[in-house]
Amino acid sequence: MTLRTLPITDQLSWLSAHPQQATAACPRLPSGYDVYLKLLPPLGIDPSVPIAAYSFATRTSADLKARAAFWDTHHIQRGQPDPTRLQPITYREVSAQLGLAYEATLDSAAIRRHYGEWPPHLGSSAALEEAFIRQLVHLLGPQQSAYLYGSADEGNGVWDAEGFRQDWLAQGHVADLVTVYQQQGQLPTYCFARDHSWCLYQGEVEWLALGCASVLAHAFLAEGTLEAFRLGA
């Protein structure tokens, strides 16, 4: 696939054409879609990390030394497990382990709240994330024409020659989401169909929001390898 970079003129005006959000639970998507979905990103677990033996205490120097020793022993870096040691795990499995409701409020923030901070046995990797993006591409239609937009304000911009982050816009196909991830290490802020029949958003939230027709929403909800919840129902 070939992305064509475009100057930003009025291609994005429809995103903010409606002063009200589609639903309070679904940020930054325009109104009018049949269904709004919350798509949970991939999650991995290092089963060798004995999380039951881990202390989240950080009040004393002894607490911090114990944490550092645990991280060193179990290959934890900056609170994250070694990506090469991760095995896929579902949010359904994690929610059952933690006694959390498996519903639309479940996400990484809910897991963080449960522990008080992010647990060092859970994380993600480039391999898990690319596999997830390829699933999105398959369901959205790899050959479908799409626009991809990265917002510097939301951390999805590109660096210019002077070292400043800039917004960017490109036209291509849904399959180009894989290329963008491989090049930038993240998804664009928005990806939407040329005819606006669906719109995918990932900016300042830790999950993806999709506005689309009922038929496409059903395909996402029926896909056993993805975890999705209806929003605003």
pLDDT digits (tens, 9 = 90+) for 84-107: 999 999 999 999 999 999 999 999
HSE-up (13 A, CA, CB side) for residue 70: 24
The four Cα atoms 15, 18, 19, 24 give a dihedral, to 10 degrees, of -80
Q: Burial, 26: exposed, middle or buried (Cβ in 10 Å; 0-12, 13-18, 19+)?
A: buried
**Same-domain check for residues 10 and 32:** yes
Nearest residue to 192 (alpha-carbon basis) of 203, 200, 204: 200
**Same-domain check for residues 111 and 57:** yes
Looking at 62, 96, 122, the residue that finishes a domain is 122
Domain count for the chain, please give it. 2
pLDDT digits (tens, 9 = 90+) for 4-29: 988 888 888 888 755 455 555 576 78
**Alpha carbon distance, N-terminus to C-terminus of the chain:** 36
Give residue 111's pLDDT: 97
Q: Are strands 208-212 and 35-39 parallel, antiparallel or unpaired?
A: antiparallel
pLDDT digits (tens, 9 = 90+) for 175-193: 999 999 999 999 999 999 9
Mean pLDDT of 62-74: 96
Looking at 73, 102, 122, the residue that finishes a domain is 122
**Same-domain check for residues 37 and 136:** yes
**Same-domain check for residues 136 and 181:** yes
Q: Burial, 227: exposed, middle or buried (Cβ in 10 Å; 0-12, 13-18, 19+)?
A: buried
**Same-domain check for residues 86 and 200:** no
pLDDT digits (tens, 9 = 90+) for 135-146: 999 999 999 999
Give residue 233's pLDDT: 59
> Is residue 83 within 8 Å of 125, Cβ to Cβ?
yes
**Same-domain check for residues 148 and 73:** no
Looking at 91, 122, 153, the residue that finishes a domain is 122
Q: Mention every residue, 6+ apart, whose C-beta is less than 8 A from residue 170.
A: 3, 4, 5, 6, 147, 148, 149, 176
Lateral strand order in the sheet of 122-123:
87-88, 44-45, 122-123
**Same-domain check for residues 203 and 157:** yes
Give me the domain span that covers residue 189: 4-41+126-230
Q: What is the average pLDDT score of the chain?
A: 91
Question: d(Cα 16, Cα 100) in Å, to the nearest integer?
Answer: 35
